[in-house]
Amino acid sequence: MSAGVSTQRRRREMAAAAAAATSGAGRCRLSKIGAGRRPPPARVRVAVRLRPFVDGTAGASDPPCVRGMDSCSLEIANWRNHQETLKYQFDAFYGERSTQQDIYAGSVQPILRHLLEGQNASVLAYGPTGAGKTHTMLGSPEQPGVIPRALMDLLQLTREEGAEGRPWALSVTMSYLEIYQEKVLDLLDSTLGDLVIREDCRGNILIPGLTQKPITSFADFERHFLPASRNRTVGATRLNQRSSRSHAVLLVKVDQRERLAPFRQREGKLYLIDLAGSEDNRRTGNKGLRLKESGAINASLFVLGKVVDALNQGLPRVPYRDSKLTRLLQDSLGGSAHSILIANIAPERHFYLDTVSALNFAARTKEVINRPFTNESLQPHVLGPVKLSQKELLGPPEAKRARGPEEEEIGSLEPMAASASASQKLSPLQKLSSMDPAMLERLLSLDRLLASQGSQGAPLLSTPKRERMVLMKTVEEKDLEIERLKMKQKELEAKVLAQKAEDSKEKENHCPTILRPLLHRTVTVAKPLKKAVVMPLQLIQEQAASPNAEIHILKNKGRKRKLESLDAPEPEEKAEDCWELQISPELLAHGRQKILDLLNEGSARDLRSLQRIGPKKAQLIVGWRELHGPFSQVEDLERVEGITGKQMESFLKANILGLAAGQRCGPS
Q: Report whether 134 belongs to an annotated binding site.
A: yes
Stretch that binds Mg ion, among 147-155, 240-248, 477-485, 530-538 (CB under 5 A): 240-248
User: Residue from 119, 134, 330, 474 that binds ligand ADP (CB under 6 A)?
Assistant: 134
Q: x-or-dash pattern for ligand ADP, window 259-298, by CB under 6 A?
A: ------------------x---------------------
446 touches which of Mg ion, ligand ADP, none (CB within 5 to 8 A by kind)?
A: none
133 binds ligand ADP (CB under 6 A): yes
Stretch that binds ligand ADP, among 33-41, 173-181, 238-246, 380-388 (CB under 6 A): 238-246
- CB of 277 or CB of 335, closer to ligand ADP: 277
Q: Report whether 127 belongs to an annotated binding site.
A: yes
Q: Report whether 355 belongs to an annotated binding site.
A: no
Q: Report whether 513 belongs to an annotated binding site.
A: no
CB of 239 to Mg ion, least distance (A): 10
CB 287 within 8 A of CB 279: no
602 touches which of ligand ADP, Mg ion, none (CB within 5 to 8 A by kind)?
A: none
Stretch that binds ligand ADP, among 50-58, 189-197, 326-334, 509-517 (CB under 6 A): 50-58
538 binds Mg ion (CB under 5 A): no
Interacting positions 155-184 with ligand ADP (CB under 6 A): none
CA distances from 604 to 236, 274, 607, 612, 639 (A): 58, 48, 5, 13, 18
CB 118 within 8 A of CB 374: yes
Q: How far apart are CA 167 and CA 161, in angstroms?
A: 8
Which residues 6+ apart lie within 8 Å of 493 measured at CB? Answer: 632, 633
131 touches which of Mg ion, ligand ADP, none (CB within 5 to 8 A by kind)?
A: ligand ADP
- Beta-carbon neighbour count of residue 133 at 10 Å? 28
Stretch that binds Mg ion, among 132-140, 379-387, 438-446, 618-626 (CB under 5 A): 132-140
CA-based nearest residue to 261, from 379, 438, 164, 161: 379
Which residues 6+ apart lie within 8 Å of 478 measured at CB? Answer: 378, 441
- Give how far the C-alpha of residue 458 lies from the chain's centroid of Cα atoms, to the nearest Å: 45
DSSP H/E element including 123 = strand 120-126
User: Residue from 89, 107, 120, 129 that binds ligand ADP (CB under 6 A)?
Assistant: 129
User: Residue from 23, 240, 246, 355 that binds ligand ADP (CB under 6 A)?
Assistant: 240
CB of 279 to Mg ion, least distance (A): 11
Q: Report whether 411 belongs to an annotated binding site.
A: no
Torsion, CA 382, CA 383, CA 387, CA 388, rounded to 10:
130
Stretch that binds Mg ion, among 129-137, 200-208, 425-433, 640-648 (CB under 5 A): 129-137
Provide φ and ψ at 258, rounded to 5°: -70, 135
CB 367 within 8 A of CB 312: yes
- CB of 131 or CB of 272, closer to ligand ADP: 131
CB of 236 to ligand ADP, least distance (A): 11
Q: How far apart are CA 38 and CA 18, in angstroms?
A: 16
632 touches which of Mg ion, ligand ADP, none (CB within 5 to 8 A by kind)?
A: none
Torsion, CA 244, CA 249, CA 250, CA 251, rounded to 10:
180
DSSP 38: P
What's the chain's Rg over C-alpha atoms? 30
Q: Report whether 131 belongs to an annotated binding site.
A: yes
Stretch that binds ligand ADP, among 2-10, 123-131, 449-457, 637-645 (CB under 6 A): 123-131
Provide φ and ψ at 32, rounded to 5°: -65, -40
Stretch that binds ligand ADP, among 171-179, 236-244, 395-403, 500-508 (CB under 6 A): 236-244
- Beta-carbon neighbour count of residue 441 at 10 Å? 20
Q: How far apart are CA 130 and CA 344, in angstroms?
A: 9
Q: Report whether 99 belongs to an annotated binding site.
A: no
DSSP 117: G
246 binds ligand ADP (CB under 6 A): no
Q: How far apart are CA 503 and CA 495, in angstroms?
A: 12
Q: x-or-dash pattern for Mg ion, window 83-122, by CB under 5 A?
A: ----------------------------------------
CA-based nearest residue to 253, from 168, 332, 197, 176: 176
Q: How far apart are CA 237 and CA 244, in angstroms?
A: 10
Provide φ and ψ at 660, rounded to 5°: -50, 130
Q: List the end-to-end C-alpha distance of the chain, in Å, as a whole number.
A: 56
Stretch that binds ligand ADP, among 197-205, 237-245, 386-394, 400-408 (CB under 6 A): 237-245
CB of 130 to Mg ion, least distance (A): 8
Q: Is 43 helix (H, G, I), strand (E, B) or coil?
A: strand
Q: How far apart are CA 486 and CA 632, in angstroms?
A: 8
CA-based nearest residue to 112, from 157, 160, 168: 157
Stretch that binds ligand ADP, among 132-140, 147-155, 570-578, 583-591 (CB under 6 A): 132-140
51 touches which of Mg ion, ligand ADP, none (CB within 5 to 8 A by kind)?
A: ligand ADP
Q: Report whether 645 belongs to an annotated binding site.
A: no
- CB of 195 or CB of 234, closer to Mg ion: 234
352-365 vs 288-313: helix crossing angle, rounded to 10: 30
Residue nearest to ligand ADP (CB): 132
Q: x-or-dash pattern for ligand ADP, window 309-348, by CB under 6 A?
A: -----------------------------------x----
CB of 247 to Mg ion, least distance (A): 10
CB of 316 to ligand ADP, least distance (A): 34
CB of 248 to Mg ion, least distance (A): 8
344 touches which of ligand ADP, Mg ion, none (CB within 5 to 8 A by kind)?
A: ligand ADP
- CB of 57 or CB of 173, closer to ligand ADP: 57
- CB of 217 or CB of 231, closer to ligand ADP: 231
244 binds Mg ion (CB under 5 A): yes
Q: Is 492 helix (H, G, I), strand (E, B) or coil?
A: helix
135 touches which of ligand ADP, Mg ion, none (CB within 5 to 8 A by kind)?
A: ligand ADP
Interacting positions 53-112 with ligand ADP (CB under 6 A): 54
CB of 286 to ligand ADP, least distance (A): 14
DSSP bridge pairs for 184: 179
Q: How far apart are CA 571 and CA 291, in angstroms?
A: 52
284 binds Mg ion (CB under 5 A): no
DSSP 515: -
Residue 94 burial (10 A CB sphere; 0-12, 13-18, 19+): buried
Q: How far apart are CA 569 and CA 238, in angstroms?
A: 70
Binding site residues for ATP, as ranges?
A: 127-134
Binding residues for ligand ADP, rule: CB under 6 A, are 51-52, 54, 127, 129-135, 240, 243-244, 277, 344
Binding site residues, as ranges?
A: 127-134
Binding residues for Mg ion, rule: CB under 5 A, are 133-134, 244
